[in-house]
Structure 1
Amino acid sequence: MLSTMTTTARDRLLDAAVAAFAEHGFGGTTTRDIAARAQMSPAAVYVHHATKEELLFAISQRGHQEALDVLARSYAKVDAPVERVAGMVRDFSEWHARNSRIGRVVQYEFGALSSDHRAVIADLRRQMEQHMRDALVAGVDEGVLEVTDVRGTARAVLSLSVDLVRWFEPGGAHTAAELGRLHADLAVRMLRPSAG
């Protein structure tokens, strides 16, 4: 029973921190703000995380790991290179749209992390990029994708998804699924060899 209560309290705390960081930024948020949103005492925050930065790191690590898992699953689902890239972009964009507040926090507050924590997050980002690079190289090898700069193109294609956290709001003109399909279509059209 205690572990269930602890998990619930921790999840409430993480959700409150995401909301506070998204609204006021890391620097503009206090642990008191987070505790109030989580309906906890300020001291309770420190039961789970020694510092506000550790709380940000927990959010960032969880968000990046979930996004990496989405890419890895998409990569493994399909062998055909064009469909693989399209699926990866579609799923990655949908995840970012559905988790836009978390995405906003982890993208814009990266610099607030300690150097050790930044290194962990940077490694997760490298793994994401490597999945896309592998998918692009497979497409180039089969002659179905045209890419002259694999690293730069992988970053640009992933940025389609990542950048939407800047402006996407649930209930807006597009659903997460619509954006996923749009981004997949754009990526494939950019990467296919030109005719003639």
Structure 2
Amino acid sequence: MVGRRLDTEDDDRALLGQRLREARVRRGLTIRDVAPTVGVSVGTWSGIENGRARVTEERLEAAAKVFGVEVAQLRTGTGRAAEEDWRHFAPLRLAPPLAGALEAFVELGYHGATIRDVAERAGLSVAGVYHHWPTKQHLLVALLDVTMDDLHWRCRAARAEGDGPVARLELLVECLALFHTHRRALGFIGASEMRSLDEPHRTRIATARREIQHMVDDEVVEGCRRGLLATPIPREAARAVVTLCTALPQWWSPTGGLSPEATADQYTDFALAIVGAPST
């Protein structure tokens, strides 16, 4: 009984931490933005988000205020605001050093960019960047955490709307295409700079990427099992579908004449053809 109760408490803590992280990402905030506001260290808040540390009621209330949500929403995961619909992409709001790093890494590459390049784009001094971010690696890890957190909650929400594997696959592809166009800078970094991550972050973020792939895998495999999809190689087809979407930031541009929504419609059709869905 004691072991079971402890397991339950750990699960609850992990779920609360996940909701806190998702709420923070949707507000465009970093851990370094939030921690001093709620009165804890960066390390403690990281532990809270990862389910390793408890959060007091007082600090939970402070976090809810910062994120613009109700405490009950954080505790239960219900009551998502209309503006947090997975299809809605508010302008990305990052702290200046992160915004500067994102611009520099996209333009120059992680290894080509210096902290001075980041500082210039952030409108800060080099010392101003170093005050909060001790290394360039910390900036890259934070950007990839923002990327994966944002993509994960959107994919889970999109998938939950579908009735049946084909509908869920279509929604997942729509979500992936929308993300990699609306958030193309983050998507570009996510696809191109995984090799630049140090351990243990490379393994952790690679695992998060695989979880997205597994969502698509599961729907294609189930669609084939039910006879709704005809590809003889469901996992390979699912991988091709995801790769198609993650490549969007390499060519898509808001000035190219094709909106994110029109692109998502096209890519949904491409995906259905790849997995062998019947023509309608």
Q: Is the TM-score greater than 0.5?
A: yes
Shift of 1:194: 6.1
- Hey, what does 1:106 align to over in structure 2? 190
In 1, the alpha carbon distance for the partners of 2:94 and 2:177 equals: 27
Q: Which residue of 1 aligns with 2:75?
A: none
Aligned to 1:156: 240
Pairing partner for 2:117 from 10, 16, 33? 33
TM-score (norm 2): 0.64
In structure 2, the residue matched to 1:128 is 212
User: How do 1:13-32 and structure 2 match up within 5 A?
Assistant: 13-32=97-116
**Higher RCO (Cα < 8 Å, 6 or more apart):** 1
1:1-196 to 2 correspondences below 5 Å: 3=37, 11-192=95-276
Change (3 A) 1:150 1:189: closer
3-state SS in 1 of match to 2:200: helix
Q: Is the 8 A contact 2:231 2:274 kept in 1?
A: no
Cα drift, residue 27 of structure 1: 1.3
The 3 A distance-change label for structure 1 pair 84 and 157 is same
5+ residue gaps, structure 1: none
The answer to which of 184-193 and 28-37 deviates more is: 184-193
Question: How big is the alpha-carbon RMSD for the aligned residues of Structure 1 and Structure 2?
Answer: 2.3
Q: TM-score, normalised by structure 1?
A: 0.89
| 1:26 shift after superposition | 0.8
Q: Which runs of 5+ in 2 are unaligned?
A: 1-32, 39-65, 67-92
Check whether the contact 1:22–1:101 (CA below 8 A) recurs between aligned residues.
yes
CA distance in 2, matches of 1:190, 1:33: 42
* SS class of match (1:115): coil
Asked if the contact 1:92–1:161 (Cα under 8 Å) also holds between the matched residues in 2, the reply is yes
Tell whether the 8 Å contact from 1:10 to 1:48 is kept in structure 2 after alignment.
no
